[in-house]
Amino acid sequence: MSEKKPVIEFKDVTFWHGGGNEKPAIKNINLKIYEGDYVALLGLNGAGKTTLQLCINGVIPNSIMGDFEGEVIVYGKDTYDTPVREMAKMVGMVFDNPEFQLSQMSVAEEIALGMESLGFSYDEMVETITEVLDIVGLQGLEERSPFGLSGGQQQRLSIAAALAMEPKILVMDEPTSNVDPIGKEEIFSVAAQLNREKNMTVIMAEHEVEVMAAYANIVIVMHEGEILLNGTPEEVFSNVELIQKLGLRLPQVTEYAHRLNQLNLASIKKPYPVTLNSAIERYKDIL
């Protein structure tokens, strides 16, 4: 992976939200994300996850007021001088409150909205709508009102609307925070499937560490606007004390491994296991 060029690169990015904020929302961000990565963004509320994500498609600095320093390069394009609608062809965005992202009379029209803006032909639109509804599992709901769907369905609809524009990167900001447990699972599996089968780069801010440990190949921990940890789930979650000090959760197996060590009941070497399967592998060795 290391010889590849990053598809997203943050170079020393700092952003202050407008309105006289002294403290930057994100500070000195340096980050490289590669094609096909599944990145989990962790951090408390206010850590800067949303701000960082809005930099990827250029909504920051182009549409949100504030002071911006540094450079964000996405597929060779500097977001500073690329219009958001241009970036929209590469970066799909899904936000936390599904209902707040919807506006149209029917599911089909909701998905068509982005394609209309880009001038897709009617036939292309019809074909794409069927295709993306199939991916997110909302087949047959074309004529329904987006506002009559369940939270999980609405969120999958906003994913479909983003996918319709054929992005290479899918940015999701706490996409399951307003969704019931079954809906959550559906969203995680759609994202994982896109990542696996279409090699789509996924950047997800999410509190469900268990799920992220299983799907993500990169975990980033943010705190007060800065990136504190960035690495594989095993590398990152092995920093047990730091993560706990920040008030973030750890995957249960990681926590147990750490506790076993602390109680001198075992000596599990770092990096700790982060998923049940990898834990079973490890414990096999021990036993």
Partner 1 sequence: MQGIVIPISMVPGNSAIHRMNPLPKLLWTFGILALSFSTRNIAVLGIAFAIGLLLVFYSRITSAYLRVALILFPISLTLITLQSIAPAFPRPWTTIAAFGPFNIYQEGIYSGISLLLRIMAMTTWAMVTIMTSHPSDIFTSLKKIGMPYVLNFILVMTLQLIPILQNEFGTVLNAQKSRAMKGSGFGAILPSMVPVFVGAIERVQQLSISLESRAFGSTGQKSSFRQVRMAFSDYFVMALGFVTTGLATYWVIIDKSLDWSKSMTFSPIFAVSLVLSATIGFLVFVIFAIRAALSA
Ligand X SMILES: Nc1ncnc2c1ncn2[C@@H]1O[C@H](COP(=O)(O)OP(=O)(O)O)[C@@H](O)[C@H]1O
63, 199, 244, 277: which one binds partner 1 (CB under 8 A): 63
Q: At what angle do helices 107-117 and 122-136 cross, to 10 degrees?
A: 130
Residue 71 CA to chain centroid, in angstroms? Answer: 20
Residue range at the interface with partner 1 (CB under 8 A); choices 4-12, 38-46, 70-78, 121-129: 121-129
C-alpha–C-alpha distance, residues 177 and 97, integer Å: 8
List 29, 51, 112, 248, residue binding ligand X (CB under 6 A): 51
Q: What is the DSSP letter of 23?
A: S
Contact 237, 212 (CB under 8 A): no
Minimum distance between the CB of residue 15 and partner 1, rounded to whole angstroms? Answer: 15
Q: Which does 47 bind (CB under 5 to 8 A by kind): Mg ion, partner 1, ligand X, none?
A: ligand X
Q: Residue type for 14, please?
A: T
Least CB distance from residue 132 to Mg ion, whole Å?
25
- Rounded to a whole number of angstroms, the distance between the first and last alpha carbons of the chain is 34
Number of helices and strands in the chain (H, E): 12, 10
CA distance 37 to 170: 11
**Is there binding between residue 50 and Mg ion (CB under 5 A)?**
yes
CB of 9 to Mg ion, least distance (A): 22
Query: Under the criterion CB under 8 A, does residue 155 sit at the interface with partner 1?
Result: no
Task: Name the binder of 39 from Mg ion, partner 1, ligand X, none, CB < 5-8 A by kind.
Answer: none
Site for ligand X in 174-233 (CB under 6 A): none
Residues engaged in binding ligand X (CB under 6 A): 17, 19, 21, 25, 43, 45-51
